[in-house]
Amino acid sequence: MINENDPSTLTTSGRLLNYNEAIKSGLETGLKFTQLMDQLIKTTDPDELVSAATQLADFELDSDYVTFPHQYSNSDYYLLFMSRMLELHDQGKHVILQSRDHHEELTQQLTPLGDRGTFNFRIETSENGGVFYRERATGQSLFYLNLERKMFRFNSHALTQLFIIDLHDTVPAETVKASVQILFDFARYLKEDYGYSVDFNILDMANRQNYAVRSADLPAGVVDRLFVTAAQNDYMLTNGVNGNGAEIALDKNVVVDIFNNQLEGQPEWVITVHDDAQQVSWFDVLLQYPFMRDWYLENLNDLEIQSDPLIFG
Amino acid sequence: MENQEQQASAADVLTQAIANKLDYLSTLQAAVQHGDDRKVYELLDQARYYQEVKKTRPARSVNHLSELVDNIHPQVSHYLSDNLINYLGHIYPFFYYEEYTTGLFHIYFGNWWDRRLFGDLDVINVQFQFDQNEYQKLKDSFALESQNKRLNTAKIESVSAESEKLQSLVDAQATRDNQKAQLRDQLKENSQRSSLPWDSSKVKDERQGIIDQLTKLADEDEKALNAHKLIKENDDKILVLSKEDTILSYEKQSIRDAFDDFEHFEAHNASLYADYLNSLLGKSEGEVKADD
C-alpha cells in the first residue's frame, strides 16, 4: 500500500517526485513574492498597491524545502507601501526610505523632521494582527494600521508625548505640523480611496469631532484652572452655549468647548474645536497656544484624549 | 324713612367705592392691552410715580387701589419684565436674568465661567436687589485697586508662603538625615562614657539635649511627610482664590466699560426707576397726549 504522506512507503522515484514538487511549490512562492514586490514597488494603480501590500503583510516566503537567506521583514513592506501610497498622491518627497547597509531592514524619516525622528513599523503579535507605526528612539507608537481589517487608529498619547512634549523645545511648531500632516494625509487616502475606518483622534479637524477626555467625570478644578490661566492670557472662558460646560473663543473664530456630553446619567466630558473652515484640530490648538498646551499637559491625567481602547488600552 | 335714606346713601358710597375699584382695574387692563407699561407702573405706585417721575405730589390722595393686584404680582411682573429687561440690556450689558419662577428673576453677573449669582431683579419696583455678600466683595475689590491689590492678594500670598515653608522642609530632608546620624553617634558615645558619679549629671544633661534635638528633627520629618498633601490642598485653595479674583476683575472691567467707575454704577442703580419710566414717557408721548 503506497501512502503519499509516508515517505517510507514510497518508491525512490516517488520520493524524488515529491521532493521536486515541494521545491517547485517553494519556488512558485518565491516567484509570487517577486511579483508582489514588483507590484508594490512599481505599480501606479492604487488598488494594486493596496492589494500587494495586504498580501505581503503576512506573506510566508520560506517553505520547508526552499528558504531565502536574504529577506526583509514583513513590517518593511508597510514602509514601502506607505511611501508608494504617498508617491501616488504626489507626496513621495515627504518621506525618505533608508535601507541599512549590511542587512535587509528599512527605516523611514519624515522629510520636514529630518533626523529628529526615525520611524518603522512593528508587527503586532497578538491575534488582532496589524502593525504599529513607531518612532524608534522614543518607542512612541503614533498609529495602528490593519490592512486586512481596513483599520487605522491614531494614538493621542504618543502624538502628544512625541510632538507636543519631546520635540517641543527643539522643533518649530510649523515643522511639527508639516510632519504630522504627512501621517494625516496617509490616513486620509486610506479612508477616502479605500473606505478604511480611520480614527484621526486629536488630529481630526471636523467640528463635530468630540474628543473624549480621560476623566469622564472631569473635576471642576480642571476647568477652573483654564479659566484663571486664560484670563492671564487675555482670553475669556465663558459659559458654554448648552449650559453644561465652558467655552473659549481663540483667534480667527476658533472656538474650543469643554462640556459634559451627557445630559443625564453617567457624565462624559469632551472637548470640541470649532472653526469656520474645519481646518483646526485639538492638536493644532496645542501647537499654537502655549497656555492651552500648558493647561493640557499640567492636567494630562484628567484631560488626555482617549484613543481606541481596544488597540491602545 | 330715615333708615331707608341712610341705607340708600350707604349703598351709594359702596357703589362709588366699587366703581373706583372697577375703574382702577379697567384702566390697568386698558394699559396692559395697549402695552402702555408706563401707565401700568403709574397705577402700581402712584405716590412714587408722582414723586420720582413727575416730581410733584399726586393730585389725589393715595388710594391704595394698587393693593387690588397684590396677589397677581407674579403675572404683572412677568408681563412687565419683557420691556424692562430689554431696557436694562442696553444699560447693564453684563447682567443676565433667569426667570426661576413666574415673575421672579435671578441676576447673573457676566457670561464667564462660573459667573456669580448676583441677586434678584424686582421688576415691580424697577430695582436690583443685590446679594449683599457678593456686592460687598465687588465694592471692596474696587476699593483695593488704589493699592494695586486684588481682593485675595493677601490671602494668596499667605497660603503661598505656607507652601514654600513646607517645600523647604521637604528639601531639607537630606540635611536632617545627616544631622540625625550625627546625633545618634553622639548618643552612642554618650552612653558608653564611664558614669563616674561626679560626671553623671553632666552626661545625663548632654544625653537629654541630644534626645531633644532628635525629637525635634523627627517632628520635622513627619511634617515633611505630610507636606505634599498640604501643598496640594494649598494649591486648591489658591485656585479658588485666584478664580474669585479673576471673576471680580471681569466684573470690574464690565462696570468700567459701561459706567467708567463704581460710583456712577451706584448712581445709575439709585435712579433706575425714574430713568426707566422717563424713557417710557419719551416713547409713549403720543399716547399720553391722547389720554389727556
Q: Are residues A215 and A298 in the same domain?
A: yes
Tell me the three cell numbers of residue A92.
Answer: 513621495
Q: What's the rounded Cα separation, in Å, for the pair B94 and A268?
A: 31
Q: What's the rounded Cα separation, in Å, for the pair A72 and A64?
A: 19
Q: Are residues A188 and A84 in the same domain?
A: yes
* Chain B environment of A301 (Cβ under 8 Å): none
Shortest alpha-carbon distance between residue A81 and chain B (Å): 49
Show pLDDT as tens, one digit a residue, over chain B (292 residues).
557 777 778 889 999 989 988 999 999 999 999 999 999 999 998 888 888 888 777 666 666 788 888 889 999 999 999 999 999 999 999 999 999 999 999 999 998 998 889 999 999 999 999 999 999 999 999 999 888 889 999 999 999 999 999 998 888 888 888 888 888 888 888 777 766 666 677 777 888 888 888 898 888 888 888 888 999 999 999 999 999 999 999 999 999 999 999 999 999 999 999 999 999 887 655 444 434 3
The CA–CA distances, whole Å, from A92 to A240, B45, B102, B250 equal 43, 82, 67, 52
Domain boundaries, chain B: 2-70+279-291, 153-256
Q: What's the rounded Cα separation, in Å, for the pair A203 and A176?
A: 12
Q: What's the rounded Cα separation, in Å, for the pair A203 and A169?
A: 21
A227–chain B Cβ distance below 8 A for any pair: yes
Contact A238 B112 (CB under 8 A): yes
Is there a domain that residue A242 lies in? yes
Total structural domains in chain A?
3
Q: Are residues A125 and A14 in the same domain?
A: no
B249–chain A Cβ distance below 8 A for any pair: yes
Q: Are residues A174 and A99 in the same domain?
A: yes
Q: Are residues A37 and A132 in the same domain?
A: no
pTM: 0.82
Q: Which of A203, A237, A255 finishes a domain? A: A203
Shortest alpha-carbon distance between residue A246 and chain B (Å): 6
Count the neighbouring beta carbons within 10 Å of the beta carbon of residue B131: 16
Q: Are residues A51 and A128 in the same domain?
A: no
Per the structure, the complete domain to which residue A161 belongs is given by 80-203
Residue among B111, B115, B246 minimizing CB distance to A231: B246
- Identify the sign of the CA torsion A82, A84, A88, A90: positive
Residue B41's identity, in one-letter code, is Y
What pLDDT score does B116 carry?
A: 86
Q: What count of CB pairs under 8 Å joins A to B?
A: 34
* Chain A environment of B112 (Cβ under 8 Å): 227, 236-239
Tell me the three cell numbers of residue A266.
Answer: 453617567
Q: Are residues A286 and A189 in the same domain?
A: no
- On whether the CB atoms of residues B139 and B130 are closer than 8 A, the answer is no
Residue A243's identity, in one-letter code, is G
What pLDDT score does B120 carry?
A: 95
Q: Which of A170, A203, A236 finishes a domain? A: A203
Is there a domain that residue A1 lies in? no
Is there a domain that residue A105 lies in? yes
Shortest alpha-carbon distance between residue B157 and chain A (Å): 17
* Chain B environment of A221 (Cβ under 8 Å): 236, 239
Closest-approach residue (CA) in chain B for A230: B246
Length of chain B: 292
Q: Are residues A177 and A104 in the same domain?
A: yes
* DSSP SS3 for A278: coil
A243–chain B Cβ distance below 8 A for any pair: no
B153: Cβ–Cβ under 8 A, 6 or more apart, which residues? B144, B245
Is there a domain that residue A188 lies in? yes
Assign residue A249 the CATH number of its domain. 3.30.310
Low-confidence ranges of chain A (pLDDT < 70): 1-10, 101
State chain A's maximal CA–CA distance in angstroms.
Answer: 92
Is there a domain that residue A131 lies in? yes
Contact B250 A231 (CB under 8 A): yes
What pLDDT score does B285 carry?
A: 52
Q: What's the rounded Cα separation, in Å, for the pair A237 and A246?
A: 6
Q: Are residues A32 and A54 in the same domain?
A: yes
Q: What are phi and psi of B110, to 5 degrees?
A: 85, 175
Contact B243 A224 (CB under 8 A): yes
Tell me the three cell numbers of residue A307.
Answer: 484613543
What pLDDT score does A62 carry?
A: 83
What pLDDT score does B292 carry?
A: 37
What pLDDT score does A97 carry?
A: 86
Tell me the three cell numbers of residue A81.
Answer: 507601501
Q: Which A residues in the span 161-220 are in contact with B, Cβ-Cβ below 8 Å?
A: none
Is there a domain that residue A107 lies in? yes
- On whether the CB atoms of residues B114 and B243 are closer than 8 A, the answer is yes
Q: Are residues A136 and A239 in the same domain?
A: no
- On whether the CB atoms of residues A160 and A298 are closer than 8 A, the answer is no
Q: Which of A203, A233, A252 finishes a domain? A: A203
